[in-house]
Amino acid sequence: MTAQTTPKGAWKITFLLFLFMLVNFADKIVVGLAGAPIMDELKLQPEQFGLLGSSFFLLFSISAIVVGFIVNRVATRWVLLAMAVIWSLAQFPMVGTVSFTTLLICRVILGAGEGPAFSVAAHAVYKWFPDEKRTLPTAILSQGSAFGVILAVPALNWIIVNHSWHYAFGALGVVGLMWVVAWMVMGKEGPLVQTVAMAAADPRVPYFQLLTSRTFIGCCAATFGAYWALSLGLTWFTPFIVKGLGFSQKDAGWISVLPWVFGAVVVLLTGWISQVMLARGFTTRGARGVLGSVPLIVGGVILAALPHVNGAGLQIAFLVIGSGLCGSIYVVCPPMLGEFTPVQQRGAVIAIYGAIYTLAGILAPWVMGSMIQHAAVPLDGYMTGFTINAVVLVVSGLLGLLLLWPNTERARLMALAAQPKFA
């Protein structure tokens, strides 16, 4: 087989999907960024605010699975468009006076709309790049999350400080609709899709075999740990800066950018290093599996040391580095799944993977809120929550090292698929 070339227009679509993920994460971060004024205005206890953070993920996983099967049959162009419309409309009710219940419902709806975002975007971009060229586009795609925070936090925080947290939600709704217009004009379906000849050479594998493969389980376990840290960052990082360390809302807005700047560097470096390793003959076990798992363990060890360092600056540095290292796993897991999953099943498998690891988003914010509410002083509760995060990261990284073997997975699954009992 000869290597496929990258179709014309692939990078334009990658950029549009990067913007798609940028809007996606700006939507996610706004509740955490406005956490202190929201808690003050609505008179919320830490457990209630933790529940608000968790509510976003209530239908997140279910939606991801449902839409994952839909994109096996419906063009990703239209699915992405519908999702962005839902995001935008879910923001506008917060512009006026709202109750905790209204805010909770809108976040649940937003989470349902955003649940499939990364998996559908990855499936869409993989229609523009052959397998050996997918790691860097995946890294760029995932960096929509970091830049969504880096660019949005200063602007949204300015709105929160100078006007109201209500208007920050409205601004995100407007930006989402702007992306909808741009996608309607320039969005296209990728040409690298399943053909009759490809289907004959790439038989369908039973989903049970795909979803119980060690690499799929390893991806879910490893990314679960990373997402635990991510969801804490989305919900609790800014409240920790304001209520735990005593910074002002204005200063906290700038500090809140730091984990995402560091994470962006980590992710882009991972994408580049992975492709260099592959070009030099490393197996995907090393260039993807090991490369993505080791930073989780290192990040967990750094977070475990956080409660034992003194000074706000040092504590912020440990938190930024420990949580930022987790980003490597997001770059390598979707391409690993794409290695051994037949094209006609890839959208669903990546979506189910996303649905499983984002369950961490339901647990982590609520666990942190519970730790804070029941601690003698709030800072002790935060430190307990970060210690739990450290344990989760180390365990998930070790599971990744044990289970991620994508270079041998495809041959094993194809051999199983070829056996008469699966006919």
Kindly report, residue by residue over 280-303, the tens digit of the pLDDT: 999 999 999 999 999 999 999 999
What global pTM score does this model have? 0.79
Q: Which backbone phi and psi does 248 adopt, to 5 degrees? A: -75, 160
Higher pLDDT, 148 or 45: 45
Tell me the two tokens of residue 151: 């660019």
In a domain, 404, yes or no: yes
Q: In 27-134, where do the E strands start and end?
A: none
Q: Residue 274: which of 420, 140, 156, 117 has the closest Cα?
A: 140
In a domain, 4, yes or no: no
In a domain, 364, yes or no: yes
In a domain, 3, yes or no: no
Long-range contacts of the stretch 197-200 (C-beta < 8 A, 24+):
198/343, 199/344
The answer, yes or no, to whether residue 189 has pLDDT greater than 90, is no
- 421: exposed, middle or buried (C-beta count within 10 Å: 0-12, 13-18, 19+)? exposed
In a domain, 129, yes or no: yes
Q: Which backbone phi and psi does 280 adopt, to 5 degrees? A: -95, 10
In a domain, 93, yes or no: yes
Helix crossing, 76-91 with 60-70: angle to 10°?
150
**How many domains does the chain fold into?**
1
Q: Domain of residue 220: give its range.
A: 10-422
For residue 217, the model assigns a pLDDT of 97
In a domain, 5, yes or no: no
Tell me the C-alpha distance between 338 and 340, whole Å.
Answer: 6
Q: CATH number for the domain including 294? A: 1.20.1250.20
Higher pLDDT, 319 or 358: 319
The pLDDT tens digits for 219-239 are: 999 999 999 998 998 889 989
For residue 194, the model assigns a pLDDT of 52
Higher pLDDT, 332 or 8: 332
In a domain, 36, yes or no: yes
Q: Tell me the pLDDT band of 193, cut-offs 50, 70 and 90.
A: low
Range of weakest confidence among 65-79, 154-168, 186-200: 186-200
Tell me the C-alpha distance between 253 and 304, whole Å.
Answer: 25
